[in-house]
């Protein structure tokens, strides 16, 4: 945003609709300190980027309402919610809206918090979230004569936002949050545009708006154009397939010829429809407001800003330090429990006891081990350490070697991570091929699992690796075949 503000000649409004601080609606008590430290870093970073205002989603309340109230006092940008109120007197805990001037345009930005899990949206007795029907009409009345454009930051799901758009024509733009992992291009509902940037902070949404006194959007035909163009592409493919069948298939030629003529007629109709939509798009919006929309990949297209990067690095170090102390406490607690005879003293974890470690594999498979040591899997834990994330449990589980969860043992992943020997600080042989201690003792009688895409996809999920292709990646990490 700082780069856009530096290079653009037009005024910029930088907004976030919510779900900015936390991913889920609840946080386990033993993880709260680390999550709040991470949220502190996010707040400092977006403030340094020049955030104008932020909406409050249910996820932002996961750290506690008191935490968010304290955060508001320390930030220069406002947190907005018209329906997040004190339970005692139903007075808003945060500003319902702001009026700001962007260039010569007066813009009202409103906040609307989505439904919070729990009875009547009340999670801890200190606050409640009122239904949008109770507050939105009155809030809009307060800004109607003071603003040229009204923007709603909403964490309600899209169907609810569409109902709001149809009911209140004075809202010109709804930016929604918290309900999609992918970017959603603007959807026009009457005179309201509804849009959203995907979760996880991978993209910025950019909308260039040409606003005027009409306060009405030019109708957007791009969605209809895409649909008709997809049908045309499919029809062209069917025409080519029909031509191939006529040359190579022994099927009845008359039936193929009839189908070919039908496809040609369909193609002509679709081409005509596309021309008409394009013409309506060029001529049907004279004097109305217009926009263009794009999504900017933060990771790949924007160089790091040094000030923001320093904030993020410091936050990562703080979170890492908190998580390290937490794992140390758990490690001591588990060992104390075992010494007291309350755990599996002689065999603390049957799952971990079944692992041999890559050094054992090397004794019989030196060529394969030498190859593995050159892959990214062998350095998986080090990649976390390089960015102060080696004690982040959400990341760590996919950067070490663990047995598959077995609920019958009484041990869960977090306990295993707390007690994990350093020899398993990598994605070793057994992460893909399963536990190997029995195989090491009796290699001819006990085989190993053949790694497949299902195993890889437990960690290479779209959130972490959205370009994962099993066959392509397998070429990079497949070990050489054993000698005959």
CA dist., res. 313 & res. 319, Å (int): 10
pLDDT of residue 298: 67
Q: Decide: 41 and 315 in contact? Cβ < 8 Å.
A: yes
Q: Looking at residues 44-51, what average pLDDT do you find? A: 91
**Which residue in 200, 163, 193, 202 sits closest to 178, CA to CA?**
200
Mean pLDDT of the chain: 85
Q: Is the pLDDT of residue 452 over 50?
A: yes
What tokens were used for 155? 């964490």
Q: Looking at residues 46-60, what average pLDDT do you find? A: 93
Q: How confident is the model at residue 345 (pLDDT cuts 50, 70, 90)?
A: very low
pLDDT of residue 342: 44
Q: Where is pLDDT greater, at 204 or 20? A: 20
Sign of CA dihedral 476, 477, 479, 481: negative
User: Could you report the per-residue pLDDT of 420-444, keeping only the tens digit for each?
Assistant: 888 899 999 999 999 999 999 999 9
Q: Where is pLDDT greater, at 299 or 127? A: 127
Q: Decide: 61 and 49 in contact? Cβ < 8 Å.
A: no
Number of residues written out for the chain: 484
Q: How confident is the model at residue 405 (pLDDT cuts 50, 70, 90)?
A: low
Q: Where is pLDDT greater, at 432 or 296? A: 432
CA dist., res. 433 & res. 456, Å (int): 11
Q: Looking at residues 205-210, what average pLDDT do you find? A: 90
Q: How confident is the model at residue 300 (pLDDT cuts 50, 70, 90)?
A: very low
Question: CA–CA distance from 447 to each of 119, 406, 428, 431, 442 (Å)?
Answer: 53, 20, 17, 15, 9
Q: Where is pLDDT greater, at 142 or 350? A: 142
Q: Looking at residues 399-403, what average pLDDT do you find? A: 89
Long-range contacts of 431-439 (CB under 8 A, 24+ apart): 431/377, 431/400, 431/401, 431/402, 432/456, 434/404, 435/351, 435/354, 435/355, 435/356, 435/403, 436/355, 436/356, 436/360, 436/361, 437/353, 437/354, 437/355, 437/356, 437/360, 438/354, 439/356
What tokens were used for 9? 């000649």
Q: How confident is the model at residue 332 (pLDDT cuts 50, 70, 90)?
A: confident
CA 242 to chain centre: 42
Beta-sheet pairing, 290-297 with 173-176: unpaired
Q: Is the pLDDT of residue 347 over 60?
A: no
Question: b/e per residue, 246-263, with b = 16+ CB within 10 A?
Answer: eeeeeeeeeeeeeebeeb
Q: Decide: 183 and 273 in contact? Cβ < 8 Å.
A: no
HSE-up of 435 (CA within 13 Å, CB side)? 14
Q: Is the pLDDT of residue 309 over 70?
A: yes
CA dist., res. 131 & res. 142, Å (int): 18
Q: Looking at residues 58-82, what average pLDDT do you find? A: 92
Note the pTM of the prediction, 2 decimals: 0.74
pLDDT of residue 408: 44
Q: Looking at residues 346-357, what average pLDDT do you find? A: 76
What tokens were used for 446? 């006990």
pLDDT of residue 346: 43
pLDDT of residue 170: 93
Percent of the chain with pLDDT over 90: 45
User: Could you report the per-residue pLDDT of 94-136, keeping only the tens digit for each?
Assistant: 999 999 999 899 999 999 999 887 644 444 568 899 999 999 9
Q: How confident is the model at residue 291 (pLDDT cuts 50, 70, 90)?
A: confident
Q: Looking at residues 7-30, what average pLDDT do you find? A: 85
User: Could you report the per-residue pLDDT of 217-239, keeping only the tens digit for each?
Assistant: 986 667 677 888 888 999 999 89
């Amino acid at each position: 945003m700082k780069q856009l503000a530096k290079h653009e000649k037009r005024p910029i409004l930088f907004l976030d609709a919510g779900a900015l601080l936390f991913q889920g609606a609840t946080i386990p008590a033993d993880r709260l300190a680390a999550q709040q430290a991470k949220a502190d870093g996010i707040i400092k970073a977006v403030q340094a980027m020049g955030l104008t205002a932020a909406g409050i989603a249910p996820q932002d309340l996961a750290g506690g309402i008191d935490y968010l109230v304290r955060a508001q006092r320390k930030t220069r940008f406002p947190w907005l919610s018209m329906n997040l109120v004190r339970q005692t007197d139903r007075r808003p805990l945060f500003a319902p809206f702001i009026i700001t001037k962007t260039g010569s345009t007066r813009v009202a930005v409103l906040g609307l918090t989505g439904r919070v899990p729990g009875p009547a949206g009340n999670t801890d007795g200190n606050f409640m979230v009122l239904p949008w029907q109770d507050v939105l009409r009155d809030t809009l009345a307060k800004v109607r004569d003071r603003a040229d454009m009204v923007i709603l930051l909403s964490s309600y799901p899209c169907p609810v936002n569409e109902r709001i758009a149809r009911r209140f024509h004075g809202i010109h733009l709804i930016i929604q949050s918290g309900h999609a992992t992918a970017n959603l291009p603007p959807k026009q509902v009457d005179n309201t545009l509804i849009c959203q940037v995907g979760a996880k902070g991978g993209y910025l949404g950019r909308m260039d708006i040409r606003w005027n006194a009409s306060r009405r959007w030019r109708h957007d035909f791009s969605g209809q154009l895409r649909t008709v163009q997809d049908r045309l592409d499919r029809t062209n493919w069917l025409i080519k397939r029909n031509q191939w069948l006529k040359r190579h298939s022994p099927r009845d030629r008359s039936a193929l010829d009839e189908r070919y003529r039908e496809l040609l007629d369909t193609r002509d109709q679709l081409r005509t429809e596309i021309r008409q939509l394009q013409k309506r798009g060029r001529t049907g919006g004279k004097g109305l407001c217009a926009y263009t929309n794009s999504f900017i990949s933060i990771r790949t297209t924007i160089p790091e800003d040094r000030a923001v990067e320093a904030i993020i690095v410091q936050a990562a170090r703080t979170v890492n330090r908190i998580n390290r102390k937490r794992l140390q406490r758990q490690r001591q607690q588990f060992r104390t429990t075992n010494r007291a005879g309350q755990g599996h003293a002689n065999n603390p974890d049957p799952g971990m006891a079944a692992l041999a470690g890559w050094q054992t594999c090397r004794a019989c498979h030196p060529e394969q081990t030498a190859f593995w040591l050159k892959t990214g899997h062998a350095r998986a834990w080090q990649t976390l350490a390089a960015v102060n994330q080696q004690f982040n449990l959400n990341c760590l589980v996919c950067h070490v070697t663990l047995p598959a969860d077995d609920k019958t043992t009484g041990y869960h992943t977090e306990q295993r991570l707390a007690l994990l020997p350093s020899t398993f600080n990598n994605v070793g042989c057994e992460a893909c091929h399963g536990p190997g201690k029995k195989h090491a003792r009796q290699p001819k009688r006990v085989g190993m699992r053949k790694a497949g895409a299902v195993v890889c996809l437990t960690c290479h999920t779209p959130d972490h690796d959205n370009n994962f292709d099993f066959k392509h990646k397998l070429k990079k990490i497949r070990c050489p075949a054993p000698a005959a």
